[in-house]
Amino acid sequence: MVESIKIILTIFKKDLYSELRTRYALNALLMFVITTLSIILFSIGNESVSPELLSGVLWIIIFFSTMSGLSRTFVSEEERGTVMTLHLIAKPLKIYFGKLLFNLALLLGLNIFTVALYLLFVTSFSVGNYAIFITTIILGTLGLASGSTIIAAIIAKANTKGTLYPVLSFPILLPLLLTVINATKLSVENALFAEALGEFQILFSYLIVLTVISFLLFEFIWKE
C-alpha cells in the first residue's frame, strides 16, 4: 500500500514538474477563465442579475475551463508518444491515480483562482453561507476532476480529441453540474447547512460511483 502511494505520488510529481515546465494546460486554463470572466462582466454591465443565475454562470466558467485544459494529462502523453513509456514502467491503476491526483490539484488551484476573481469582480454575487459554498466547491472539484480524468483517458485514443471531450463530458457531468448549481444557489440564499445535505449526499454518491467505475474501467481503456 505504502509502495503504491509512493508510485502514485511520483507520477503526480512528474506531471506537476512537467506542467510547470511546459505550461501545457495551465496557460490554457488561466486564459480561459480570464477571458470568459471579462466577457461576462462586459455583458452584465450595470444590469442587476439575480445571484441564482450567477451561481449557474460560475459553474459554466468552471465546466468549460475544465474542458479546455484537463484532457491534457492523457492527451499530451499520447501526442508526445510517451504513453508506451508509461505502459512499460507502471501498472495502469497507479498511472490513473497519479493523473487523477494531478488533475485534482490543478482543478482545485484553478477553482480557487476562479472563485476569488468571481467574488471580487461580480459584485451582484455574494455568498450567504460560506460553509455550504466551500463544501460545494470542494465536492464539485473532486467530482469534476474524477469525471474529466477518465473521459480524458478515453478521448486520448480518439482522432478528434478536442471536440469529443466536452461532448462526451457533458452527459456524464450533467448530474454533477445540476447539483453543484443548486448547492451554490442555497449558499447564496443563506440557507441552513442542513438544507444542503441532500445535495451533498448526491455529490458524494456521484463521486464514489464515478471513482469506482473509473477504477474498474481504466485498465481496459488504457490498454490498446
Partner 1 sequence: MMETILFQIEKIGKTFNNRKIFSEISFSLKEKGSIAITGRNGSGKSTLLKILAGVLTPTRGTTELKINNTTIKPEDYFNQLGLVSPYLQLYDEFTGWENLDFFRRVRNINVEDKCLDELLYRFNIWDRRNDYVRTYSSGMKQRLKYAFALIHKPSILLLDEPTSNLDAEGIVTVYRIMEEHKHNGILIVATNDAEDIKRCDEVIDLNNQIGKRK
Q: Which residues contact partner 1 (rule: CB under 8 A)? A: 3, 6-7, 10-11, 14, 17-18, 21-22, 80-82, 84-85, 87-92, 94, 219, 223-224
Residue closer to partner 1, measured from CB, 82 or 163: 82
> Cβ 11 to partner 1, closest distance in Å?
6
> Cβ 2 to partner 1, closest distance in Å?
10
> Cβ 1 to partner 1, closest distance in Å?
13
Contact residues for 99 (Cβ-Cβ < 8 A; gap 6+): 11, 15, 73, 74, 149, 152, 153
Phi and psi (nearest 5°) for 52? -65, -45
The C-alpha cell at 181 is 448549481
Pinpoint the alpha helices (H) of 45-160: 51-69, 72-80, 83-87, 92-121, 130-155
Query: Hey, what's the torsion of the CAs at 26, 28, 30, 31, to 10 degrees?
Result: 150
> Cβ 162 to partner 1, closest distance in Å?
22
CA distance 224 to 217: 13
